[in-house]
């Protein structure tokens, strides 16, 4: 097979964010990261994904860290490398849609505190939920990488994703990411989709996949053949399974080819040695569950992303019902079909997963609904890709006339003026106000504790 590009393949390493989010429920601490930063900064990655996603919440909720201070510290210790974050469109880093003023301010402060690239996605691929974030990222000087959330269903085919990428390009995106969060993109489909995108979209194409089903490295390699500009990988101690394919393996596979990354395997090995110690500590603390490291081709049936698997295990463990793990996984595709085939990525993955847990725990499907499930069915998160099962709507008490058809954020009033006044005694900065807006209870507890010390 012939490479369709002669340019070096660029690498985004996810060790500082998605790798430990997917494998260890986002429990890596700043003190685990900083000793390796000088080495990471010298390697020559296209970018380091180090912030956003679930890290913001986890910093305050579990690690007693200020996520903004984490970002500033990483920026100081990584002066020569682009820093990248994951941003959930109108949901920012939370689990509901926020008003446009919150989205705008969060983009401004993220970039001011050190972020260079903001990967913006929407769980439902509703482009209306990306408009404000893309506009704001560009306004404040960041690079807006707009993502298509890849999934497989009767309504999601290659043409669907090409059309979506063209819409995002017209919106003003600086690059397009194919976000394959559950490793559903087969190697052959990756080649075909990336080749088609390179032919139709005049922007860099960035591929993000996982290795849950064991095909991640193959997917990345085929994408490299097809002309992908950038791929995501993670250093080997936190690679594989529900995380990304290994950085060192990808670099080695492309040596002495037209797409040679040019990255130094010796330096990568030294960085990996540090994170092997970190991974061992996370395993000893019980956060790195062996199940998320295994290749499981059933992921192709469940269509469950890595972070969702590790969180699902934690949720069932808290309930003392780990025995229901396989049963819940088997129920997830059923709920997804009934909800109109949303891609499974935060927050839709948590919503669908929690509903599957409720269906299994109660022993009767849709006897109970979470508030978020009803909100999704009503349209508060955006337009669902397919038709919703009318029986499920009826059981949830939602009439067709009650469903939202406009851009959900159009119904939201500005939130920051009220919150600045409300949290005036607790918030010491605009960053604190944003933390409190996104996670009121968690941030209030964290900031109150900080105030007392």
Inform me whether the pLDDT recorded for 431 exceeds 80. yes
Confidence of residue 310 (pLDDT cuts 50, 70, 90): low
Question: CA 380, CA 411: separation in Å to the nearest integer?
Answer: 9
Delimiting residues of CATH 3.20.20.70 domain(s) in the chain: 10-284
Q: How confident is the model at residue 169 (pLDDT cuts 50, 70, 90)?
A: very high
Asked if the model's pLDDT at residue 242 lies above 80, the reply is yes
> In this predicted model, what pLDDT tens digit does every residue of 316-359 receive, in sequence order?
888 888 889 889 988 999 999 999 999 988 788 889 999 999 99
User: What does the alpha-carbon distance between residue 48 and residue 81 come to, in Å, rounded to a whole number?
Assistant: 7
Tell me whether strands 83-87 and 205-209 are parallel, antiparallel or unpaired. Answer: unpaired
pLDDT at 1: 79
Q: Is domain 290-409 in CATH 1.10.472.90, yes or no?
A: yes
Per-residue model confidence (pLDDT) at position 315: 81
How much is the average pLDDT of 241-261?
A: 96
Cα–Cα distance between 69 and 202 in angstroms, integer? 36
Q: How confident is the model at residue 394 (pLDDT cuts 50, 70, 90)?
A: very high
Of the listed ranges 117-121, 289-293, 381-385, the least confidently predicted one is 289-293
Q: Which pLDDT score, from 0 to 100, does residue 201 have?
A: 98
How many C-beta atoms surround the C-beta of residue 198 within 10 A? 18
Average pLDDT over residues 261-287: 95
Band of the pLDDT at 433, cuts 50, 70, 90?
A: very high
Tell me the sheet residues that pair with 87.
120
Phi-psi region of 203 (alpha: psi -120 to 50; beta: other; left: phi over 0): beta
pLDDT at 300 (0 to 100): 75
Mean pLDDT of the chain: 94
Spatial distance between the Cα atoms of 81 and 215, rounded to a whole number of angstroms? 29
Three-state secondary structure along the chain? CCCCCCCCCEEEECHHHHHHHHHHCCCCCHHHHHHHHHHHHHHCCCEEEEEECCHHHHHHHHCCCCHHHHHHHHHHHCCCCCEEEEECHHHCCCCCCCCHHHHHHHHHHHHHCCCCEEEECCCCCCHHHCHHHHHHHHHCCCEEEEEEECCCECCECHHHHHHHHHHHHHHCCCEEEEEECCCCCCHHHHHHHHHHHHHHCCCCEEEEECECCCCHHHHHHHHHHHCCCEEEEECHHHCCECCCCEHHHHHHHCCCCCCCCCCCHHHHHHHHHHHHHHHHHHHHCCCCCHHHHCCCCCHHHHCCCHHHHHHHHHHHHHCCCHHHHHHHHHHHHHHHHHCCCCCCCCCHHHHHHHHHHHHHHHCCCCCCCCHHHHHHHHCCCCCCCCCCCHHHHHHCCCCHHHCCCCCHHHHCCCCHHHHHHHCCCCCCCHHHHHHHHHCHHHHHHHHHHHHHC
Please check the confidence at residue 112 and state whether its pLDDT lies above 70: yes
* pLDDT per position as a tens digit, 61-98: 999 999 999 999 999 999 999 999 999 999 999 988 99
For CA atoms 418, 109, 383, 242, give the dihedral sign.
negative
pLDDT given at position 365: 95
User: Is residue 292 very low, low, confident or very high in pLDDT (cuts 50, 70, 90)?
Assistant: confident
Fold of 10-284: TIM Barrel (3.20.20)
> Which pTM value belongs to this model?
0.93
What residue spans in the chain does CATH classification 1.10.472.90 cover? Answer: 290-409
Percent share of the chain, pLDDT over 90: 81
Task: Return the structure tokens found at 41.
Answer: 């900064």
- Cα 50 to Cα 83: distance, rounded to the nearest angstrom: 7
Cα separation, 398 vs 109, in Å, equals: 38
Backbone angles phi, psi at 416, to 5 degrees: -70, -40
126 closest CA partner among 300, 396, 376, 400: 376
């Amino acid at each position: 097979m012939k490479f369709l590009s002669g340019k070096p393949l660029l690498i985004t390493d996810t060790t500082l964010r998605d790798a430990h989010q997917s494998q260890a429920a986002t429990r890596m601490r700043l003190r685990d990261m900083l000793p390796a930063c000088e080495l990471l900064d010298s390697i020559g990655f296209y970018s380091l994904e180090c912030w956003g996603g679930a890290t913001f919440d986890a910093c305050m909720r579990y690690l007693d860290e200020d996520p903004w201070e984490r970002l500033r510290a990483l920026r100081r210790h990584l002066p020569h490398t682009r820093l990248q974050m994951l941003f959930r469109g109108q949901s920012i880093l939370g689990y509901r849609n926020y008003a446009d003023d919150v989205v705008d301010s969060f983009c401004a402060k993220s970039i001011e505190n050190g972020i260079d690239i903001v990967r913006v996605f929407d769980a439902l691929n509703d482009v209306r939920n990306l408009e404000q974030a893309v506009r704001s990222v560009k306004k404040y000087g960041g690079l807006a990488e707009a993502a298509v959330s890849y999934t497989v269903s009767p309504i999601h085919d290659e043409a669907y994703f090409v059309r979506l990428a063209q819409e995002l390009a017209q919106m003003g995106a600086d690059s397009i990411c194919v976000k394959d969060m559950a490793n559903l993109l087969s190697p052959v489909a990756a080649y075909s989709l990336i080749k088609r995108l390179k032919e139709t979209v005049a922007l860099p194409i960035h591929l993000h996949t996982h290795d849950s089903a064991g095909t991640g490295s193959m997917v990345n390699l085929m994408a490299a053949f097809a002309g992908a500009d950038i791929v995501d990988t993670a250093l080997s101690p936190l690679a594989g399974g529900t995380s990304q394919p290994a950085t060192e393996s990808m670099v080695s596979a492309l040596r002495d080819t037209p797409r040679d990354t040019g990255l130094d395997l010796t330096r990568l090995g030294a960085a990996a040695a540090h994170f092997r110690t970190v991974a061992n500590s996370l395993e000893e603390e019980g956060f790195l569950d062996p199940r998320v490291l295994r290749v499981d081709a059933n992921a192709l049936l469940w269509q469950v992303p890595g972070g969702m698997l590790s969180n699902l295990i934690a949720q069932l463990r808290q309930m003392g019902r780990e025995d229901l793990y396989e049963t819940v996984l088997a129920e997830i595709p059923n709920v997804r079909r009934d909800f109109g085939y949303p891609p499974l990525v935060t927050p839709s993955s948590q919503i669908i997963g929690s509903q599957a847990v409720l269906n299994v725990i109660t022993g009767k499907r849709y006897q109970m609904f979470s508030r978020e499930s009803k909100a999704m069915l009503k349209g508060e998160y955006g337009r669902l890709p397919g038709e919703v099962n009318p029986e499920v709507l009826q059981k949830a008490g939602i009439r067709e006339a009650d469903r939202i058809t406009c851009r959900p954020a159009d119904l939201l009033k500005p939130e920051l003026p009220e919150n600045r006044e409300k949290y005036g005694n607790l918030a010491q900065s605009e960053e604190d106000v944003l933390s409190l807006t996104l996670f009121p209870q968690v941030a209030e507890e964290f900031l109150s504790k900080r105030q007392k010390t």
